[in-house]
Structure 1
Amino acid sequence: MLLKRIKCGVFPEQKRRFSFAQEQWQELKAISGFLQQIGGWNVNDANEAYIFSFWENHSAYEAFMKRDHDEIMAKNNQRGTYHRLAVDLYMKASPNDDTFSIMEMLRKSNVLHVWERCEPLSGSCSAEEFIWFQHLHDHRRLLIVPAMPLTDSDGTTVAIEESWTTFRFMEGEET
């Protein structure tokens, strides 16, 4: 599984427009290899948005970027709503390989706690309560913990905007 993490600095006067544009990414549902997109606002910086996009693999993501990304971006008129954009790509590094369970866990979350670090987080959560991702180009790792109290001050808490969430129905789900 591939994770694309997007971190945006949003102009304060453009937050409503940014949020509306983010809701327009529902077209992702029809893209082959797309799994889920979820995002929201950094609770400690009201003008910083995080978007987490999950893909079956790197080749599915690359095909989307070549074929569909720019067209969707142009339709939703999101450019001009942010002044800073950082994109990082990660591969899943967690021992839990159950993609369905991971997507379901994320879908039910109201908040995500995110740490970027090279070493595991010390704490009491089990492997079923978090997801590790390894950066594609360096040793950084990203840890995502849904709905767990923040215990480590170097992490970021993202309040999920339900209207930004889009997902592809997976095998075994009802439509």
Structure 2
Amino acid sequence: MLPDLTIVIGGAASGKSDYAERLVREASDQRLYIATAQAWDDEMRAKIQAHQNARAADGWRTVETPMDPANALTAMATDEVALLDCATMWLTNQILSEGDLDAAKRALFEGLSQAPGRVVIVTNEVGAGIVPENALARRFREAQGLLNRDLAERAGLVVTVIAGLPLVLKGTLP
């Protein structure tokens, strides 16, 4: 059985979302998809639409919440398993909005602590590359690293995915 909080982390296009979806599908027929992406251009709109169609055909209940996933987490049913995809897009939205990032993180973690069901969070590992050349990118990389560390500390299971292959960093797979 999945623990209350599972983190699936990996690089871009590593297969982490597919793996996280599989974990949730195997854990429950009652699945909640908490989507944090925003459509900034036509390519992203098309990608979001394709994901929405695929989830609807597979029995997912979807909540689109780019800024405030905590409300969706606390409102989920006890028999649901939620997939928050992804913490990286949520963080991007927070930084670009220039709001209070610390307050937003506190709200997210409060929502996680009050979620009545199990939660799987997808997040990107961004610290394995070169040091970014601009201040915004460096701020994002630092914030993402801190968020990932905070999430991993709270999680019962942390899995990294590389080239589609899962590797358990913490806990035990169900």
- TM-score w.r.t. the length of structure 1 is 0.26
Q: Which has the higher strand share?
A: 1
Higher-helix-fraction structure: 2
- Return the TM-score normalized by structure 2: 0.26
